[in-house]
Structure 1
Amino acid sequence: MSDTTIRNGVSFEETDSNVAAYRDAAERGDAPILPSERLWGFWEFTYANSALAIATWAFLIGGSVGLFVGPKEGIAAIVIGNIIGVVLTALATTCMTGRYGVEQFVALRSQFGYNGTRLVYVLAVVVLTMGWLAVLAMMFGRSIDGLIALSDGGQASPTGIKMMISAILAILVTWFVVAKGPTSIKFFNMVISPALVILMGVMLYLILSKHSFGELMTLPALDPPFEDKHLNFIIAVEVNLAAGFSWWPYIGNLARLTKNERTAFWPNILGIFGAAALGEIVGLLAAVALGESDPTIWMTKIAGPAVGVVALLFVAFANMTSMANILYTSIVGLRQVGTESVRRIPWGTILFLFCLIPLGLVVFYPQMYDGFFIFLVWTSALNSALAGIGIADYFFLRGQKLDMRELHAPQENGAYRFVGGFNPIGLVALAAGFGVYVWIFNPQTLASLSVFKFVTASIPSCVVAGLVHYGLSRRFATGKGWGGYPGN
């Protein structure tokens, strides 16, 4: 005998085998997770996303801030940019996944359609991950190059052949490990993250042992590009807005494991914002105190050879775990949103194909590392617009209501099919937000309009994308019966 049950809007016959199948589907993202089956309360989620945010890239971002402004302005830029970016990103992603337990890119079908979601995934996740893999691999390579220089008394060569070979090796080892199945996520949370906090504390202690806090606050920027200090400060804020918005592809799926909507949102303030800001501030202070924004160089300067060797070894290892983590999660997601032909590609093969572009960047464009903030800021042109669309759609157009049956049913004739699986309104809004961003501020050249100094570029991008999506949806989507909006 079996009973018909509805779980988060998905109906099925409640037998033991079907319950087990449902749980497996929920873990893969094919079905929503019930509140009773979720793992994290407030403090568990705070720790989980703190572990994600405490990573070696925070040192890089903080060092990049030091290129534009000194510590006093830099700390302000880190706090302002990150808090705004993280709050808007969390509103756009974690609230809906935390309420319904739905996989983030399944929920995104309500905004872009099932084919539009695939396009967004490639732009926002695949491209971002490829860039981060290259940057982290080069950081690994520079750490190994620095270790060799320390051991033989030679001179480090950050763009030399030893760096390149080590970076290539890092990508290939990451591919091999992930191809075998383990993701290192649990190990990263339990071991690497607390150790990185200790490393940050040691670095901060060493900095303050050589410079008083008052002295640090008077130090100038390393290489400000403009004479206008206000413009340099706003660029630093923009770098940190980009850092905050860069969490858009990831934190929604973490939040689906939380007990409720409030638990999904508020820990991001303590976890993502707090942990990332801590790492950035350490990177900023070290950069301006030692005159070098690259953590693989300033660690050896401040710590000396013995401690420097330990620090560089740890940074190299931490980068490998971060690379395995983001590669695994990106490919799992790619197989989730991909076509049947993509899902048929063997696991190890699709991983290797994914690694080809990062390998090419390491070999042919190692300069990306020194100007990586340019890559980071480019991603904000997309992520800030996505956040604006998400807020407008979920809160203002749908009143925080999603149809779980329609999201998980066959999409070809469902409520969220839009036009051939694409929502043209969402894509137009995304293009509008992206266009506004690069019109106000060009990340490649740092050229900007005068209004940039007062509103940044990410905030207008977010607002314009949200307004375009809201206005066009209200005007056209309801009349055409698109997207299951209230009133259709």
Structure 2
Amino acid sequence: MSTTKDDYRLAAERGDAPLLPGERLWGFWEFTYANSALAIATWAFLIGGAVGLFVGPREGIAAIVIGNIIGVSITALATCVATGRYGVEQFVFLRSMFGANGARLVYVLAVVFLTMGWLAVLGIMFGRSIDGLQTLVSGGDPTVPASPLKIVIAACGAILLTWFVVAKGPTSIRFFNMIIAPALVVLMFVMMALILSQHSFAEILDMKPLAPPFEDGTANFIIAIEVNIAAGMSWWPYLGNLARLTRNERVATWPNFVGVFGAAVLGEIVGLMAAVALGNADPTIWMAQIGGLVIGVVALGFVAFANVTSMANILYTSLIGLRQVGTAGVRAVRWETLTFLFCVAPLALVMFAPGIYDGFFKFLVWTSALNSALAGIGIADYFILRRQQIDLRALFARPQDSAYRFWHGFNPIGLFALAVGFLVYVGVFNPLSLEHTSLFVLLTASIPSCLAAGLCHWGLTAAFARRLGWGAYGERPAVSAAPAAQL
């Protein structure tokens, strides 16, 4: 059966085949704008406010810069270089290190749980924004939620609205992105100007943290860095699928330091300064306090619907990945139905566990326990073990015929290394209690986790994989570099 160019192009757009070099959409600045639009999101205000709990602005700005540059650098190396070079969907690429079934398991752990948690957090933020807006209009105290039940109802409404937007497809999402992303930049600068109109920059730098958990300032500072490494690492499930649209691996990598890093740092610094200046880490509260009635209503209303855009972006990206890892039964489910099913768990979290919002930075740090280990495995496998050479035919072959079949579609070595990295993380730093070892103060928790998982994967693969005939390590790929043109 012959395959036309149009058939191939459609398969490539869906992730079922590599994108050919001529089909790549983005150069340096196009990719920079695309990932900036995603990174300029309301969660940056939340993360910046969380940093203000641990340290003051002087140390907080340093923690934001240090943490994000570490997290974004590691994530870009682990995901963007390979997908940008080969034009493959990120979870297809993972078959080379975890096997087809192992990639499905990683998808569930790294994407499903992360996306559902973020949908719940942003949904509750929407609800609080609507509640704060109504409180402002009625002349009430914006620091006191008027109705927890109303917040939950509005949060559920935000998730259902997100379902409706994503069910309509990518056109509606792109339309919202074009409006929301530039407007959020304007909002950030307006908030910054309002803060500086009440306090000088020097005064703000000397302000104290809101609720430092330890007397040891160094420990509080490293926790702030860890929160920001986790923020950078939280892009692990998404950046690779953006990078596959770029023209080469250089274009896939460097814009992240302008876009994701720069945009996130800007939003977090605004959130940090507002939190310490106004005494509250919740952006739905300090926005109501800082601008008065008119600006407060506009800001809260805008932030509420900006959350829906952020929610739509992460939900859509997750569903595209699900197409690659799902079974034939999953692919047969109608898009609208599948989108709704993905929203059921976030709806349950909003209704039965609304406290996830107040402790969201703990949820964020938990995700780094997984993402840092995944990044370490990805770097060790692609750069050291495979020397940046991937067999594209094996990636897309039937599991039983693929050189990346490993053991029944699972790579036990990769999954064991993932477990080791996770356990190292929680052994060094407990995200729930914030208790930590002396190693944490020296290296954070994400860096030891990344190193442990990478070294474990590299060592066990070198020792056993070739002997067991797993993963075609050490063999020359049939189809490797720059590759899409050869197919």
Normalising by structure 1, we get a TM-score of 0.95
* 2-structure distance, mates of 1:374, 1:351: 27
What is the aligned partner in structure 2 of residue 376 from structure 1?
A: 364
CA contact (8 A) 2:165 2:173 kept: no
* Alignment partner, residue 169 of structure 2: 181
More deviation, 415-424/354-363: 354-363
* Contact 1:54–1:275 under 8 Å retained in 2: yes
The whole-number CA distance in structure 1 between the counterparts of 2:60 and 2:318 is: 32
Amino acid in structure 2 at the alignment position of 1:37? E
Which residue of 2 is the match for residue 416 of structure 1?
Answer: 404
Give, in whole Å, the separation in 2 of the partners of 1:266 and 1:182. 26
Q: Which is worse superposed, 164-173 or 286-295?
A: 164-173
Match among 440, 448, 459 for residue 471 of structure 1: 459
Equivalents in 2 of 1:201, 1:448: separation in Å? 37
- For 1:97, the aligned partner's letter is T
Partner Cα separation in structure 2 for residue 184 and residue 374 of structure 1: 32
Q: Kindly indicate whether residue 260 of structure 2 is the aligned counterpart of residue 272 of structure 1.
A: yes
Amino acid at match of 1:477: A
Instruction: Tell me the residue number matched to 1:402.
Output: 390
Q: Does 1:34 align with 2:34?
A: no
Aligned pairs for 1:127-138 within 5 A: 127-138=113-124
Instruction: Tell me if the contact between 1:392 and 1:466 (Cα under 8 Å) persists in the aligned partners.
Output: yes
Provide the secondary structure at the position in 2 that maps to 1:412. helix
Deviation at 1:126, TM superposition (A): 0.6
Question: Residue in 1 aligned with 2:313?
Answer: 325
Alignment TM-score, normalising by the size of structure 2: 0.95
| Alpha-carbon distance between aligned partners in 2 of 1:173 and 1:371, rounded to the nearest angstrom | 25
Runs (5+) with no aligned partner, structure 2:
477-487
Counterpart amino acid of residue 51 in structure 1: A
Match of 2:88 in 1: 102
Which amino acid in the other structure matches residue 117 of structure 1?
Answer: A
Which structure 2 residues correspond to residues 100-249 of structure 1 after superposition, within 5 A? Answer: 100-156=86-142, 157-158=144-145, 160-182=148-170, 184-249=172-237
1:487 offset after TM fit, Å?
4.5
CA RMSD between the two structures: 1.3
Q: Distance in 2 between matches of 1:169 and 1:226?
A: 39
Alignment of 1:307-326 (within 5 A): 307-326=295-314
Instruction: Please tell me whether the aligned partners of residues 183 and 325 of structure 1 are also in contact (alpha carbons under 8 angstroms).
Output: no
The whole-number CA distance in structure 2 between the counterparts of 1:292 and 1:350 is 38
Residues 427-481 of structure 1, C-alpha deviations (whole Å, 9 max, x = no match): 0000000000000001011111121111110000000000000000000011111
Find the aligned partners of 1:311 and 1:211 in 2 and give their Cα distance.
20
Per-residue CA deviation, residues 387-429 of structure 1 (Å, 9 max, x unaligned), is 0000000000000000111111112221000000000000000
**Are 1:20 and 2:6 an aligned pair?**
yes
Deviates more, 1:50-59 or 1:330-339: 330-339
Query: How many Å separate the matches in 1 of 2:133 and 2:351?
Result: 21
How many angstroms does 1:182 deviate by? 4.4
Q: Of 241, 245, 249, which aligns to 1:253?
A: 241
Q: Point out the more displaced range, 128-137 or 320-329.
A: 320-329
Please tell me the residue identity of whatever aligns with 1:392.
Answer: A
Residues 233-282 of structure 1, C-alpha deviation per residue, up to 9 Å, x if partnerless? 00000000000100000010111111111111000011110110110000
Helix, strand or coil at the partner of 1:200: helix
- The one-letter code of the counterpart of 1:454 is L
Q: Which moved more, 1:321-330 or 1:262-271?
A: 321-330
Shift of the 324–230 alpha-carbon distance from structure 1 to 2, 3 Å rule, reads same
2:323 match: 335
Aligned mates of 1:296, 1:184 — CA distance in 2: 26
Q: Please state how far the C-alpha of 1:347 moved relative to its aligned partner.
A: 2.3
Q: Distance in 2 between matches of 1:103 and 1:243?
A: 22
Tell me which residue corresponds to 2:342. Answer: 354
Q: What residue number does 2:39 align with?
A: 53
> When the two structures are aligned, how many residues end up with a matched partner?
474
Structure 1 stretch 349-358 or stretch 305-314: which is displaced more?
A: 349-358
C-alpha contact 2:45 2:267 (8 A) present in aligned 1:
yes
Cα separation, 2, equivalents of 1:200 and 1:72: 19
Whether contact under 8 Å (1:61, 1:283) holds in the other structure is: yes
1:176 Cα deviation after fit: 2.3
Distance 2:31 2:312 in 1: 21
Q: Is the 8 A contact 2:229 2:446 kept in 1?
A: yes
Unpaired runs of 5+ in structure 1? 1-11
After alignment, is 197-206 or 179-188 more displaced? Answer: 179-188
Paired residue type of 1:144 = I
Aligned residues of 1:184 and 1:321 also touching (Cα < 8 A): no
Letter in 1 for 2:59: E
> Against the structure 1 CA distance between its residues 189 and 168, is the aligned structure 2 distance closer, same or farther, given a 3 Å change threshold?
closer
Distance 2:20 2:228 in 1: 35
Would you say 1:63 and 2:31 are equivalent positions? no
CA distance in 2, matches of 1:323, 1:183: 15
Structure 1: distance between partners of 2:331 and 2:7:
20
**Is 2:307 the counterpart of 1:299?**
no
Distance of 1:395 and 1:181 partners within structure 2: 36
Structure 1 position 183, deviation (Å): 5.6
Structure 1 CA distance for aligned equivalents of residues 288 and 202 of structure 2: 24
Amino acid aligned to 2:156: I
